[in-house]
Each structure stands twice: as structure tokens, then as C-alpha cells.
Homo-oligomer: A and B are copies of this chain.
Amino acid sequence: MRVDTRWLTREQLAAWVRLAAVLELLPTALDSQLRRDAQLTHFDYYVLAMLSESPDSTMRMAKLAETTTATLARLSHVVQRLETRGLLERVPCPAVRRVTNARLTEAGWRKVREAAPGHVAFVRDNVIDALTPDQITQLADITQAILHRLDPTAGRAGMYQWYDSPEPAD
């Protein structure tokens, strides 16, 4: 046993225990809602939603993996499953050899459009509407700081910052 351990203070422990409880409960709750209402996992939904917001509903697989913070292996597995269900398709990139794109199909579009309102309502009920505007800003800063530690490469590439661009989304 190391003798130089810096144990957590009571304040740090309180924050950590609660964050750990959120990590335990929230992903399960998100999956349950989306499975019940749209026959999708949260990760499935996230993949489809990211595609739906890209030009031509198309992204390179490697970029999609980055954006969804998944390994390429995990993403490939999920994309294959969604492709079998007809919600997206993999196509060779017309511009770059040996690069594969994922593209939302019409059925995939319908799925996202149908699932989005219920999912957003769920996220509001369980997370967003529980917080004050100040807490929303704090949460964005706190999660950004944690992500920089967990995934410094992504942080440098600014991948969690693309929502910060000053232009309105539509």
C-alpha cells in the first residue's frame, strides 16, 4: 500500500459518489427510454443523430467514431447492425480512396425525426430542466475539463467544442 495517497476530502467524495451514481443510473435510463420508444440504444440514437446533422447526412467512419467517442471497432459493430435494419448505409468515399462513409437512409431520417422529440423530452426531464442556467454553464465547463483528462487528443482537436461555434444552428 502506498503511503502517499491523497485521499479525497469529504467535499470531493460527495461529488464523486454522486457522479458515480449518475454514471450508474443515467446510461441505463437513456437506453431504456430509447429502446422502449424507438427500438434504439442511446449509442444507436447518437450515431443516427450525428449523421442527421452532417452535410448530406454523411460522415467518414473515422470521424463518426471520434464524434461519438467510440473505438472504430465498436462503431463498426453498431453501424453494421444499423445497416442491417436499413437505417444507414456504408458507401465508399467518392473523394478519398479506401475511406468509407456512413450515410443515413430515408428510413434512418424518419427514425431520428420520430425519436428525437421523446428523447429530448426525456433528457430535459432528467437532466436539463433539473438545472439552473448557471448550472448548465457549470456542467459544460466541468465535463469539458473531465473530457480533456480522459481524452486529451479529442480535446486538442476541439471535438467537444463544435457546438460552441457562434453561428446559430439553423
Contacts and interface: CB of A to CB of B under 8 A. Distances in A.
Given A6-B120, A16-B128, A135-B145, 6 more contacts: A1-B114, A12-B128, A13-B163, A126-B150, A130-B145, A130-B146
A19 B123 CA distance: 11
Count copies of this chain in the complex.
2
A22 interface: yes
A5 B143 contact: no
A9 B131 CA distance: 14
A136 interface: yes
A10 B169 contact: yes
A146 B26 contact: yes
A25 interface: yes
Interface of A: 1-2, 5-8, 10-27, 29-30, 42-43, 46, 68-70, 113-114, 116-118, 120-121, 123-128, 130-131, 133, 135-151, 160, 163-164, 168-169
Contacts of A70: 24
| Highest count of chain B CB atoms <10 Å: which of A27, A69, A142 | A142
Contacts of A19: 127, 139, 143
